[in-house]
Amino acid sequence: MAVILDGKAVSAKVREEIKAEVERLAEVGVTPGLAVVIVGEDPASQVYVRNKEKGCEEVGIHSEKYALPSNTTQEELLALVRELNGRPDIDGILVQLPLPAGLDEKAVIEAISPDKDVDAFHAANVGKIMIGDYNFLPCTPAGIMELIKETGLPVEGKECVVIGRSNIVGKPMAMLLLHQNGTVTICHSRTRNLAEVTSRADILVAAVGKAKFVTADMVKEGAVVIDVGMNRDENGKLCGDVDFASVEPKCSYITPVPGGVGPMTISMLLRNTVTAAKLAAGCADL
């Protein structure tokens, strides 16, 4: 029977640490500030933004929300990003993705100052992650590394398989595992004999976006299984990329959906915002 990696519990612990850090910064007159920009009425995005606001409030980070209508032009959005880049009281800028059709996500991400890019999506920050010399980590992979740390098992020397090659999760996830001396394989829609590859994994990260895609025959006995998926099953119930019922008896640790990776993602965003504030104030060692 697998140990359930409780993202809510680990996230609560991380937030306590962040809150203590924010209090220390307040003593030297520094208040971390996060600006969240949301364009349009996407319901999932609205939920994420509310959760981010609640997270900021919980740890003492100043947050500002900019809710723009779906007919916002590219130039209007870029003008807002440029304005926020210039604000000394805003340390982190997050533009909630996806953007409505007609807006260029890549141009918007590249317009954010790399020093305020708390999602770590800017090409400069992606490059830094590649070479292992970074200030910010993408929030979901960083949260996954915290959950893996919670197992007490070292990544070093382990066979690590990541299913999914997105810029947001799959690719940076592979890099973080590599930086900890894991032997990493990235799988995707063109991978041949997928089950053969995944069943070698000591640590398996599923980030493919398909409900219950990973089944028991794809998982090694005793593996650590991290489920990044957020899908709906045939009954409309929230589920992950892993078929939890069949996989859970086979592995040593597994994340649930919901309550696994999700809460960690927002906590890592809060951590990145505090890091940005410390770097901007010149008190990185505090």
Among 91, 96, 212, 227, the one annotated catalytic: 96
Instruction: For residue 74, give both structure tokens.
Output: 């590219």
Catalytic residue among 52, 171, 250, 278: 52
Which residues does 133 contact at the CB level (< 8 Å), separation at least 6? Answer: none
- Residue 46 falls in the annotated catalytic set: no
Catalytic residue from among 91, 119, 241, 243: 119
Beta-bridge partner residues of 160:
184, 203
Q: CA–CA separation, 130 vs 118, rounded Å?
A: 17
CA atoms within 13 A on the CB side of 147: 36
**Buried/exposed code over 202-223 (b: 16+ C-beta within 10 A; e: otherwise):** bbbbbbbeebbbbebebbbeeb
CA distance 266 to 180: 23
Q: Reply yes or no on whether 74 is catalytic.
A: no
Q: Is 165 annotated as ligand-binding?
A: yes
Cα distance between residue 7 and residue 256, in whole Å: 8
For residue 164, say whether it is annotated as part of any ligand binding site. Answer: yes
The C-alpha atoms of residue 143 and residue 126 are separated, in whole angstroms, by: 17
- Note whether 241 and 211 are within 8 A (CB): yes
166 is in an annotated binding site: yes
Question: Where does residue 258 rank: exposed (0-12), middle (13-18), buried (19+ CB within 10 A)?
Answer: middle
119 is catalytic: yes
| DSSP output for 17-68 | HHHHHHHHHHHTT---EEEEEEES--HHHHHHHHHHHHHHHHHT-EEEEEEE
Binding residues for NADP(+): 164-166
Which residues belong to the active site?
52, 96, 119
